Amino acid sequence: MNPSEENEILTLIFIYSGEFAERVIRNLINDPSFCKSCGLYCDSCKYGVYSYVKNIRAAIELPSPAELPTFIDNPEAYMPKRIPKADLCISSGLHKDLLLELPYVIEKAGVKGLIVPIEDFMEVPSGLRRQLEEICVELGLESAFPKPFCSLEPAEGKPTISKFVNELRVGRPQLEISIIRRGNSEVIGSTVVKRSAPCGSTWYIAKKLIGTETKKDILYDVIAKAHHSYPCTATMNVDPETKEPILHLGGFIIREEVEKALKQAESLKP
């Protein structure tokens, strides 16, 4: 990637069905009506901090799988007639036959990469994922299939997807935490969201951590309650590959990142 490309704005299109992609879009544009988890206690912690509305070229909703035949012989008939050129396509909730057609459609439009978040393994089973990976390799498209979306990290050889994670600061969460003493206990004094889960849950969890004791059992309980309360959009059905509900995988990720931030805070103590 040359310097001029590095300075260009990363552009996105969403081709989707269902609510999950809309949730990600609303988080990326920082819609003021989106996050209402704190209710009356909302202090607008994230509003005005960022907005990536200029990065989004289009959000194209296709018919839901329930509205379509089980098998589609002509998937191209259901695809968008026109797709604006963009760097990256994010897709979720599509009928399996439409999803298999998607790489061909976006490659013709000049898109460089495809992200298909897996929040429910029934939507993108392992066999379908492997087919999509092979098609993307054939077409020269970058691809990622994060399970769940909040597991997405920068990857060598995938500059466009890495730019999405690094510049839009979404993917696997990253936090900065400060520790203070309160009586005989250590508690979390402040939190800073360096990178958020694409659904925006990291902001809510970070706020709930403030004032929490750093004892593991107390910390884990607060994280779990906040993660479920936001709520996480991943399925509770047990994933055949990981032997865990994908929702639990998301919970493990944020727990690991909180622990990592606490260790960093401990190392900075005088």
Q: Are residues 85 and 194 in the same domain?
A: no
Q: Name the strand (E) or helix (H) holding 187.
A: strand 185-195
Q: With contact defined as beta carbons under 8 Å apart, do 229 and 220 qualify?
A: no
Q: Are residues 164 and 207 in the same domain?
A: no
Instruction: Collect all residues with Cβ–Cβ distance below 8 Å to 268 and sequence separation of at least 6.
Output: none
The pTM of the whole model exceeds 0.85: yes
Quickly state the pLDDT bin for 7 (edges 50, 70, 90).
low
Q: Are residues 18 and 100 in the same domain?
A: yes
Q: Are residues 41 and 92 in the same domain?
A: yes
Rg (alpha carbons) of the chain, rounded to whole number: 20
Q: Are residues 19 and 137 in the same domain?
A: yes
Quickly state the pLDDT bin for 41 (edges 50, 70, 90).
confident
Q: Are residues 96 and 184 in the same domain?
A: no
Q: Domain end: 120, 136, 168, which one? A: 168
Q: Are residues 43 and 88 in the same domain?
A: yes
Q: Domain end: 112, 144, 168, which one? A: 168
How many structural domains does the chain have?
Answer: 2
* Pairwise CA distance, residues 200 & 202, whole Å: 6
Instruction: Please report, as a single letter, which amino acid is at residue 198.
Output: P
Q: Are residues 178 and 159 in the same domain?
A: no
CA dihedral angle for residue 10, residue 11, residue 17, residue 18, rounded to 10 degrees: 50
- Give whole-number Cα distances, 158 to 92, 114, 154, in Å: 20, 11, 8
Per-residue DSSP letter, 110: T
Residues 134-150 have pLDDT tens digits of 999 999 999 999 999 99
Mark out the alpha helices in the chain (DSSP H runs). Answer: 3-7, 19-28, 96-108, 126-139, 159-168, 201-209, 216-229, 246-267
Q: Are residues 164 and 180 in the same domain?
A: no
**Average pLDDT of span 162-185:** 95
* Pairwise CA distance, residues 228 & 174, whole Å: 19
Q: Output 48 or 59, whichever has higher pLDDT.
A: 59
Q: Are residues 140 and 36 in the same domain?
A: yes
Domain that holds residue 81: 3-168
**Average pLDDT of span 246-257:** 96
Q: Domain end: 135, 168, 201, which one? A: 168
**Average pLDDT of span 215-229:** 93
Q: Are residues 74 and 32 in the same domain?
A: yes
- Give whole-number Cα distances, 171 to 37, 108, 159, in Å: 20, 27, 15
Q: Are residues 198 and 124 in the same domain?
A: no
What's the pLDDT score for residue 270? Answer: 66
* Domain CATH code at residue 220: 3.30.390
